[in-house]
Structure 1
Amino acid sequence: MQYFTEDFSAFFKELAKNNHKEWFHANKKRYESSVKKPFTTFIGDMIQEIQKYDANLQIEPKDCILRINRDIRFSKDKSPYNLHFTAFISRGGRKDKSFPGIFLRFSPEMVGIMGGCFGPSKEQLEKIRKTLDKDPSGLRRLIENKDFVQKFGEIRGETMKRIPKEWKVACEKEPLIANKQFYFVGEEAPGLITSKTLIGVLMEYWTIMRPINEYLTKAIQ
């Protein structure tokens, strides 16, 4: 099924040159028809596909889709709108990024596909580290899988600047224990947005990230 027309990318390209409220309000109907409505339909169908394999995913598109408005409170760039459209499909949705899931970002430049733990709490982070310390090879086997390496490369995330004494030996065995985040990023060309194979391709990514997401989910619970 084709969810989007070429006007999805065209809208954001024009918004990049006219990132102000006057232009956006003048193009509000276009935004609704070319961006928001088809994206909501797409996310709804994506959720249904994932639910075939994960019955615990009980969420609606409105709980996953992030607003197009930027948070400019602490930014020097006061442009009011994002130049991409995003959603975080997980048990926690967009409001709780500690739950592993699939994060999607559509823009004229690319389709970003991300997974893992973006914002674990201190307690969850401690649980992940203890899990890694107990079985250092468990996660390592998953992230060294050839399909994962091909699609996502490696685990990313901010790391501890100073490693506490109690974690130094463990970090030598498994450097990922020093991470404060555990996420990974894949990318597809923007032409995928208007492709009829959109959900099929993204479900391939979801299938590959699933074992890592499940490992992290089990660790934080």
Structure 2
Amino acid sequence: MPTKKEPNATLTTATLAFMSDLVDNNNREWFQANRSRYDAAKAELVRVVDQVLLRMSAFEPLANTASKDCIFRINRDIRFAKDKKPYKSNLAFAIGPGGRHSGRIDYYVHIQPGNQSFLGAGMWQPTPANLAKFRQEVDYNAQELKDIIEADAFKAYFPEAAGEVMKTTPKGYPADHPEIELLRRKELFFMHRFTDKEVVKANFVDELVRGSQIMKPYCDFLNYLFYDEKEEPVEL
């Protein structure tokens, strides 16, 4: 007999309220006094990530990846920062093989009150070697990438392209190159934003999974280009 589908895990307005209050009281004394509120928010987030992992395992290799591997710590690293606030103003997790430290292009979810939440993925702060690979691929065969990011479903769900763009022309490419706009990209990261009302809806997990499926071809493109593509052997 078919098993009954587990109800969607949800984030609540209490979690968003805690994060909003934290922005106004970003100090250890307040945080410790409100630790139970944070623990409740973290527990909600864990349940959401558990369900996202389970459902995304149908199309991503996520075996042995647990929610604790995906969720970012709320504590900020302030050792070298001018801003000494000890806590982040958001909750976040990244879905990839092994979690947030997969070393590959993964799916990033950012939860922040004030309608600042989003699902995103793509090329962000690439190494010089990976940026060179990206530009070489655009120069050689831009159509494969364009077929992905210019597809109607992709553009409808991810209308916003973020990331640094060169004002000049990258070295080695002519200014009149037909794909000069892509070549000028130093980063190419796409986002789908969520309102606070959308974040606390019962279908939020469904939306994260659906958005990740739409994003998957772009992640696969970058992961193959950066990590999986084998260089042709040089004949001597």
TM-score (norm 1): 0.88
| Consecutive unaligned residues in structure 1, runs of 5 or more | none
User: In the alignment, which of 139, 149, 153 is matched to residue 147 of structure 1?
Assistant: 153
CA RMSD of aligned residues (A): 2.2
Q: Is the 8 A contact 1:136 1:174 kept in 2?
A: no
Equivalences, count: 219
- Distance in 1 (alpha carbons) for counterparts of 2:165 and 2:68: 32
User: Partner of 1:177 in structure 2?
Assistant: 183
Q: Following TM superposition, by how much is the alpha carbon of 1:161 offset from its aligned partner in structure 2, in angstroms?
A: 5.5
CA gap 1:135/1:94 in 2 versus in 1, 3 angstroms: same
Q: Is the 8 A contact 1:16 1:83 kept in 2?
A: yes
Asked whether the 8 Å contact 2:78–2:86 carries over to 1, the reply is yes
Spell out, residue by residue over 1:122-148, the C-alpha distance to the aligned partner (whole angstroms, 9 max, x if none): 222222222221111211122111222
Answer whether contact 1:170 1:177 (CA < 8 A) is retained: no
Relative to structure 1, the CA distance from residue 92 to residue 219 in structure 2 (aligned partners, 3 Å threshold; closer, same or farther) is farther
The residue that corresponds to 1:131 in the other structure is 137
Q: Which has the higher helix share?
A: 1
- SS of the equivalent of 1:134 reads helix
Match of 2:35 in 1: 28
* Larger-gyration structure (1/2): 2
Q: Could you say what secondary structure the match of 2:107 adopts?
A: strand
Structure 2 gap ranges (5+) = 1-7, 228-236
Q: Deviation of residue 70 (structure 1)?
A: 1.9
Deviation (angstroms), 1:42:
1.2
Give runs of aligned pairs for residues 4-19 of structure 1, distance below 5 A.
4-19=11-26
Summarize the Cα distance change of 1:56–1:88 in structure 2 as closer, same or farther, 3 Å threshold.
closer
- Name the counterpart of 1:216: 222
Whole-angstrom CA distance in 1 between matches of 2:123 and 2:170: 22
Report the residue type matching 1:100 in the other structure.
I
CA distance in 2, matches of 1:150, 1:94: 27
Give the % identical residues: 28
TM-score scaled to structure 2, two decimals?
0.83
Cα displacement (A) at 1:173: 2.6
